[in-house]
Amino acid sequence: MIQISDTIQLEEISNDNFNALYSLMKEVYPAAYSHFWKDGGNWYVNSQYSKENILKELSEKNADYYYVLFNGEKVGNFRILWNKELEGFSEKRIVKLHRIYLHKNVQGKGVGKLVLNWLEEQAMKKQYEYIWLDAMDEQSQAFNFYKRMGYQYHSHCFLDFELLYDEVRKMSQVYKKL
């Protein structure tokens, strides 16, 4: 367990404790994104957080997966992909924050900021120079949060998931120099 403040801890997700991830995301994801999807986001959660996909992601090299705990309770999760490439940065040491999700009960209380600050510190200790992530443009809460945290536009693409509404398909890659 990693203590990052008086109230916030990180617990590594592993083959022994991944079971809580699906039920957590079944609650957290639709609260933020159900209106993006024709099926309320069921397909996305069921595929990304299936046992098979979680185990596949846990087996990937150069990746870490954490639960975020607030006062001892699991309230979120995120992944770190060390050395995940971003176009134009192939010569650089660069890390990706992959999917950070916090429960709506703890949003806006500084938890996301502490987690990002912690990750940026870890990356700097390992001599990483840049951090990047994907953010959906129409999720203004997350988009504004990253802007506030100093991330800037790099590029964008349009997601081709069949069940996604057309007007929310835009996803930007944003990055920050550490």
Q: In this chain, which residue has its C-beta nearest to ligand COA? A: 112
Taking the least distance from each CB to ligand COA, the nearer of 36 and 128 is 36
Of 18, 37, 49, 107, the residue at the interface with ligand COA (CB under 6 A) is 107
Going by C-beta distance under 8 Å and a sequence separation of 6 or more, which residues neighbour residue 136?
33, 36, 142, 143, 159, 168, 170, 171, 172
- Select from 10, 47, 83 the least CA-distant residue to 161: 47
56 φ, ψ (degrees, to nearest 5): -65, -45
Choose one: 14-22, 47-55, 96-104, 124-132; the region binding ligand COA (CB under 6 A).
96-104
Taking the least distance from each CB to ligand COA, the nearer of 18 and 103 is 103
Q: What does the block give as tokens for 151?
A: 């991330």
161 φ, ψ (degrees, to nearest 5): -60, 130
Taking the complex as a whole, the smallest distance from the CB of residue 49 to ligand COA amounts, in Å, to 14
Q: Does 35 bind ligand COA (CB under 6 A)?
A: no
Choose one: 36-44, 56-64, 105-113, 162-170; the region binding ligand COA (CB under 6 A).
105-113
Taking the least distance from each CB to ligand COA, the nearer of 111 and 131 is 111
- Select from 167, 138, 171, 176 the least CA-distant residue to 156: 171
- Select from 134, 118, 121, 128 the least CA-distant residue to 10: 118
First-to-last C-alpha distance (Å) of the chain: 25
Choose one: 10-18, 67-75, 107-115, 155-163; the region binding ligand COA (CB under 6 A).
107-115
Choose one: 15-23, 79-87, 137-145, 158-166; the region binding ligand COA (CB under 6 A).
137-145
* Contact positions vs ligand COA (CB under 6 A): 32, 100-102, 107-113, 135, 139, 141-142, 144-145, 148
